[in-house]
Amino acid sequence: MNYETRMDVAGDHEHGPDLSVDADDGASSRKKLILIAIAVAVAGIAAVALLVSGAQEDTGFAPGSNATVPTVSVISPGQGTYAGIINATGTLAARREMPVGVVGEGGRVVSVPVEAGDWVSAGQVLAVIDRSVQTQQTASAAAQIEVARADADLAQANLDRAMQLVERGFVSQADIDRLTATRDAAVARVRVAEAQLGERQARNAQLNIVAPAAGLVLERNVEPGQVVGAGSGVLFSIASSGEMELLAQIGETELGTIPVGATGTVVPVGTDQSFTCQVWQKSPTISEQTRQGTARCALSYDPALRPGGFASIELNSGAVVAPRLPESAILTDAEGSYVMIVNAENQIERRDVTLGMISDDGIVIASGLDGSEKIVARAGGFLTFGETVKPVLESGDAS
């Protein structure tokens, strides 16, 4: 009985290990299947990635492919005839401004009979200087003439009497020579006194400040009671004949295209009035700082033209035949202005240009282009020299 029981227990013990071994084999098989499936999936993903990468490489770097060649808009402006209009600004001024100051010895101002804005004639008194002292000096000089003439008359009379006695032997020739010299000296003193009187009168005439020529009084810098002299500076400023001008500041390139005699239209700031002017002189020098020169444009007098005021001008510089480009096509660097052009191989090149007149419709190219080039219309700064592009005309036709 006990033996059988032990056998059953032993038998159960022997079958137990066999069952655990089967279970371990099944789990191991499942793990292997899972690992194999994962490896296959990874291999598949890697293969797809390689295929995609290879396709991208073939597409991105294939010679002649349009995928990486940028498309740019270009224009071919040709040449046109444009009216030579130059817009500029400048300052109004008297064409011939005459500063007037003290000419004589000066003194206390008694009266000033003119005001700024008055028209005066040549020689008209602008300011009267007190001359009470000078008047007495003039009277004294006139009296000196009378004294000198009296001395001269006496010397002449003495000489005449001596000449009558010399024949009788009462007077020697030496006495005659002495009396003659005395008479000549007296006559000379008369001339000296007359010259001194003339000088005094001339000085008195210069006491009053007068207009050197006819014109318009622009400034008055003196008042009655003021003491003036040689160091008093400019007391009056007069525009000769009232003529005005505009000092237009123009770039050196444009200045060369403006002929003397060219006409223009001036509009002063603060008014809608316009005035016709004519260029009568161009500055022979160019400012090193602004690279501009001055065109002097003559204007007839008008109350709206105030010297020192600011004005704009539109000048006619004659017709020109040249290409014209939009402002977006023109670039600038330290070397100057240039444009990007597309050459026969569809590559970007730099072309230096000289700018001409500027208007709302564009900028005329004075030199550097003949108008047949393919010029990058905009965003040229994002391109590089030698880069290959696909040019498209502004009309939309691919070239």
Question: Parallel, antiparallel, or unpaired for β 362-367 and 354-359?
Answer: antiparallel
pLDDT of residue 3: 38
Region of residue 368 (phi > 0: left; psi between -120 and 50: alpha; otherwise: beta): left
Best CA proximity match to 218, nearest among 309, 123, 282 = 309
pLDDT value of residue 399: 40
Query: CB within 8 A of 241, min separation 6: which ones?
Result: 96, 213, 214, 215, 301
Report the alpha-carbon distance of residue 330 to residue 379 in Å, rounded.
Answer: 10
pLDDT, position 50: 53
Show pLDDT as tens, one digit a residue, over the chain (399 residues): 443 433 343 444 444 444 444 545 556 667 677 777 777 776 667 665 554 444 444 444 444 444 588 888 899 888 887 767 788 899 999 999 999 999 878 889 999 999 998 999 999 999 998 888 878 888 888 898 999 899 899 989 888 888 888 777 777 888 888 889 999 998 999 999 999 888 888 888 788 899 999 999 999 999 999 999 888 889 999 999 889 999 999 888 788 878 888 889 999 998 889 999 999 999 888 888 888 899 999 998 888 898 999 999 988 776 778 898 998 889 988 888 999 999 988 889 999 998 877 777 888 888 889 888 999 988 777 888 888 888 998 864 434
**Residue 275 CB: number of other CB atoms within 10 A?**
21
Which residue in 52, 50, 54 sits closest to 42, CA to CA?
50
Query: Helix %, strand %, coil % for the chain, to 5?
Result: 35, 30, 35
Architecture of domain 86-95+242-318: Beta Barrel (2.40)
pLDDT at position 114 is: 94
Q: What is the pLDDT of residue 7?
A: 36
Q: What does the CA dihedral 180, 182, 184, 187 come to, rounded to 10 degrees?
A: -140
DSSP-based three-state secondary structure for 243: coil
Q: How many CB atoms neighbour CB 326 within 10 A?
A: 15
CB contact set of 210 (below 8 Å; sequence gap of 6+): 123, 124, 125, 126
Question: Domain-by-domain residue ranges, the chain?
Answer: 1-68, 71-81+322-393, 86-95+242-318, 132-206
- Answer whether 145's CB lies under 8 Å from 194's CB: yes
Give pLDDT, residue 245: 94
pLDDT at 218: 92
What is the 3-class SS of 38-60, one letter each residue? HHHHHHHHHHHHHHHHHHHHHHH
Question: What pLDDT is stored for residue 127 in this prediction?
Answer: 92
Phi, psi dihedral angles at 303 (to 5 degrees): -55, -25
Whole-angstrom distance, CA of residue 56 vs CA of residue 42: 21
Q: List, edge to edge, every strand of the sheet that includes 209-210.
A: 209-210, 125-129, 107-111, 227-228
> CA 57, CA 66: separation in Å to the nearest integer?
14
Domain 71-81+322-393 has CATH 2.30.40.10: no
Domain 132-206 -> CATH class: mainly alpha
The structure tokens 């210069």 sit at 206
Q: Give the pLDDT score at 28.
A: 64
- The position carrying tokens 């709302």 is 360
Same fold, 71-81+322-393 and 86-95+242-318: no
